[in-house]
Amino acid sequence: MKLRLILAAADRTVMDGFELDAPRQYFATSSLVVGYALCSSLLSVINKFAITMFDYPGLLTALQYLTSTVGVWVLGKLGFLYHDPFTFETAKKFLPAATVFYLAIFTNTNLLRHANVDTFVVFRSLTPLLVAIADTIFRKQPCPSKLTFFSLVVILGGAVCYVLTDSAFNLTAYSWAIAYLVTITTEMVYIKHMVTNLGLNTWGFVFYNNLLSLMMAPAFCFVTGEYADVFTAYGSSSGIWFNIMAFVAVALSCVFGFLISFFGFAARKAISATAFTVTGVANKFLTVAINVLIWDKHASKIGLICLLLTLVGGVLYQQSVTSDGHFSQQRGSTISKKANGVVGNVDSEDERHDKRLSGRDSVRLQLIPLNDTTIVYQMHHSKCTRSFSLPDACGINLL
């Protein structure tokens, strides 16, 4: 019988009989972290550049969804990654989550269309505050610790000061900012729960999100009336369709949108959750610095100071949640036991990271025969002796 072995491993997962060369592992890990840092820090600026040169947010996001969907499908066919196969039953269950994801990206693009990158970073930094409130009210989580509460107050104070000192205040821009804040918070609280229940792996989550969003894109273009603007521009002799800079901007946004998925998930595998979080915070500072250096589409000096205050609050927040890691690991072991009772459920690294699990407890082996009957094995840390790191998911055919 021909079986496919799927290894879903977290950072520095242990398993007997394997040992990677230390210099190679260091080089590979460093490359992943650098790649993630570059993609993460440049993506917002590139998207702002793309929407400035190509003023069709619906079509732009549709092209990004198409690139990511085709990219995951092609790499899956080539054996570089494994994603859950498409089924109409799963798609039907996942549709509400994909709708929230589409709205988050749609409002994000329109926010960048009407505001600068600094405004986007400020409102993006406010998400921990709303997520903490939502977790406490709807998910019955315990109230934040004193340090966490203080960090959230710092974030809120920096954001309020930024809005009050914004000389380029625009009601349309801030309306999109509030819409983005609501949708991205809903996505963080709701989608993780949805994906966990469906048992999708990391790349399956990416594949379903982008494919279903691509299917919804034409309807949104029709509702917003963007299709008329697109046809008008396409019919004109002098339009953005023949602008080489617009083509480059759109191409870069599509490529970086896909690369951030790869480097983000791979970096989470290669380094600890704390190191990944620190890298994410540093990326925001890089985004602000790059945005200030390359053009004049940025906030004033006072606005930048308020923005930095918001980012400092984000650093304090990450330190506060990291200090609770021991409690999270104990709670995570209970969650892991419940998850292991579901046949075929491979925990995504997103879920482990969000629950602040170290990921060093176990490695799960998923054997998928040709008849799609799934067998899951669990090997614990106590039964293993040597360490190694794996890519996001390795598909190995056993004859």
pLDDT at residue 150 above 60? Answer: yes
pLDDT value at 248 more than 80: yes
For residue 336, pLDDT over 70 is answered with no
Would you mind telling me the total number of residues written for the chain in this entry? 399
pLDDT in tens, 85-118: 999 998 998 898 889 889 988 998 998 888 888 8
Q: Is 388 left (phi over 0), alpha (psi -120 to 50) or beta?
A: beta
Q: How confident is the model at residue 76 (pLDDT cuts 50, 70, 90)?
A: very high
What tokens does 225 get? Answer: 């009336």
Predicted TM-score (pTM) of the model is: 0.65
Distance CA 37, CA 363 (A): 27
pLDDT band at residue 50 using 50, 70 and 90 as cut-offs: very high
Q: What angle do CA 272, 316, 279 make, to 5 degrees?
A: 35
Query: Around Cβ 288, how many Cβ atoms within 10 Å?
Result: 23
For the chain, how many structural domains are there in total? Answer: 1
**What is the domain extent for residue 25?**
3-398
